[in-house]
């Protein structure tokens, strides 16, 4: 079980890692006096920012840390409300709670991303930000969402953890909101074990985020006075992870191209099956990592999943708000961190509940039972294997 990045480790990653080990410097600052220092994390940040079309990038220790840092960098905290979809990963909600703000859940539509029509219903005088999630690699309806954010003066943070390399209307995901967070864990498009990246074009947010991620230092600990901007913590990426990230980033476009091709092949083979449709794709620039089927009837979805050894998205663990017991029961480490009265309860998002109960994920590049994508193919699957998966799916639908 892994994502496309981890399926594609090769000589490129090995070379970058060996550079680091041979240099002897495993932390991002290495030694400025040693010409052998490799600057992998720094170089990855430069290349990733350029790739995303943003002014800045900060490599971190995780996607979750990247979300938390970004929220704090934008000044989100106690008393604030942050809107986000009820179908995401638990880390999106957890990061909001750890700033002590209150997560307020919004419905998803048949794209399985945030439904713009539900956003305005959830806005109050305390709403400060919208956290959009490009779920399963599908870009959110950013045009509508950004217009709502502008109208209500809300900040936008993109949880792009599942969507590195995707585009929306020609712009790279991560470059559309005020800040964005990516995950580089083993299920994601770029895999380094554990790691993350933040991107932004806002200089103030960049400097604040950098300080939060590195004990209050200035970016790259440069300048006359490198300390004292803010109280920070440590979420730094190390050079070994940076080395792998660098090699993986250079493969990203090629991997996504392969996935989109394989997804199309599978899609074409099953497109004529009655009583089901594919989820709505908000832009051709989606990542192609997952093929999501939405059946007309829950019963049908359940029976097809059972025959294929899979489960509907209602059962995809901590990706569904109502399965997150720790959130539903407000089990924050310290009581009173945010306003539990505003948290969603089971059943609060009827449209989301309904869609997820009828939906099934087929893996194309992200093979992950936890995401409901235990059945399907992977980035190396041959045409024959894709045809076999399609036949199996068609049989399961007939029975």
Ligand X SMILES: *Cc1c(COP(=O)(O)O)cnc(C)c1O
Please, what is the minimum distance in Å from the beta carbon of residue 118 to ligand X?
19
Q: Are strands 81-85 and 290-295 parallel, antiparallel or unpaired?
A: unpaired
Please, what is the minimum distance in Å from the beta carbon of residue 28 to ligand X?
18
Which of residues 133 and 211 has its CB atom nearest to ligand X in the complex? 133
Q: Is residue 46 exposed (0-12), middle (13-18) or buried (19+ Cβ within 10 Å)?
A: middle
Which of residues 160 and 390 has its CB atom nearest to ligand X in the complex? 160
Per-residue tokens: 51: 């790739």
Please, what is the minimum distance in Å from the beta carbon of residue 87 to ligand X?
9
Which of residues 37 and 235 has its CB atom nearest to ligand X in the complex? 235
- SS3 state of residue 129: strand
End-to-end CA distance of the chain: 28
Distances (CA, A) of 54 to 95, 144, 161, 199: 23, 21, 16, 7
- CA–CA distance, 194 with 59 (Å, rounded to integer): 11
Distances (CA, A) of 70 to 23, 213, 257: 32, 10, 29
Per-residue tokens: 132: 């959009």
- SS3 state of residue 180: strand
Please, what is the minimum distance in Å from the beta carbon of residue 88 to ligand X?
5
Please, what is the minimum distance in Å from the beta carbon of residue 71 to ligand X?
12
Q: Which residue is at the shortest CB distance from ligand X?
A: 63
Helix then strand then coil, % of the chain, to nearest 5: 40, 15, 40
Per-residue tokens: 36: 């052998």
Which of residues 259 and 397 has its CB atom nearest to ligand X in the complex? 259
- CA–CA distance, 71 with 27 (Å, rounded to integer): 26
Please, what is the minimum distance in Å from the beta carbon of residue 9 to ligand X?
18
Please, what is the minimum distance in Å from the beta carbon of residue 182 to ligand X?
8
Which of residues 89 and 295 has its CB atom nearest to ligand X in the complex? 89
Q: Which residue has the tokens 């410097």?
A: 25
Which of residues 161 and 179 has its CB atom nearest to ligand X in the complex? 161
Which of residues 154 and 287 has its CB atom nearest to ligand X in the complex? 287
Beta partners for residue 132, in sequence order: 158
What is the contact surface with ligand X in residues (CB under 6 A)? 62-64, 88-89, 91-92, 133, 159, 161-162, 183, 185, 196
Please, what is the minimum distance in Å from the beta carbon of residue 180 to ligand X?
11
Which helix or strand (DSSP H or E) is residue 105 part of?
Answer: strand 102-106
Which of residues 88 and 258 has its CB atom nearest to ligand X in the complex? 88
């Amino acid at each position: 079980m892994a994502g496309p990045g981890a399926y594609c480790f090769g000589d490129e990653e090995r070379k970058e890692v060996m550079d680091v080990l041979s240099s002897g410097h495993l932390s991002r600052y290495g030694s400025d006096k040693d010409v052998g220092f490799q600057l992998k994390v720094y170089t990855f940040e430069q290349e990733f920012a350029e790739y995303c079309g943003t002014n800045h990038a900060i490599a971190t220790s995780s996607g979750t840390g990247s979300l938390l840092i970004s929220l704090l960098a934008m000044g989100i905290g106690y008393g604030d409300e942050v809107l986000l979809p009820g179908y995401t990963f638990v880390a999106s909600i957890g990061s909001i709670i750890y700033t002590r703000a209150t997560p307020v859940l919004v419905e998803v539509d048949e794209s399985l991303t945030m439904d713009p029509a539900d956003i305005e219903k959830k806005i109050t005088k305390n709403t400060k930000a919208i956290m959009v999630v490009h779920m399963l690699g599908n870009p959110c309806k950013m045009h509508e969402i950004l217009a709502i954010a502008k109208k209500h003066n809300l900040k936008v943070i993109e949880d792009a953890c599942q969507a590195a390399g995707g585009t929306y209307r020609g712009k790279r995901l991560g470059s559309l909101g005020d800040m964005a967070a990516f995950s580089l864990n083993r299920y994601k498009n770029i895999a380094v074990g554990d790691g993350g990246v933040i991107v932004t074009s806002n200089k103030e947010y960049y400097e604040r985020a950098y300080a939060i991620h590195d004990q209050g230092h200035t970016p790259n600990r440069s300048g006359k006075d490198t300390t004292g901007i803010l109280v920070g913590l440590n979420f730094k990426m190390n050079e070994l992870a940076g080395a792998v990230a660098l090699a993986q980033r250079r493969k990203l476009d090629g991997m996504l191209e392969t996935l989109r091709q394989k997804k199309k092949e599978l899609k074409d083979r099953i497109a004529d099956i009655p009583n089901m449709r594919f989820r709505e794709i908000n832009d051709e620039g989606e990542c192609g990592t997952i093929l999501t089927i939405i059946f007309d009837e829950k019963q049908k979805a359940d029976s097809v999943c059972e025959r294929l050894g899979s489960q509907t998205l209602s059962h995809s663990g901590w990706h569904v708000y109502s399965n997150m017991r720790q959130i539903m029961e407000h089990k924050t480490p310290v009581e009173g961190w945010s306003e539990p009265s505003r948290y969603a309860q089971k059943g609060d998002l009827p449209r989301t509940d309904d869609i997820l109960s009828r939906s099934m994920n087929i893996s194309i590049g992200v093979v992950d039972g936890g995401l409901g994508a235990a059945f399907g193919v992977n980035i190396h699957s041959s045409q024959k294997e894709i045809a076999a998966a399609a036949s199996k799916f068609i049989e399961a639908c007939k029975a």
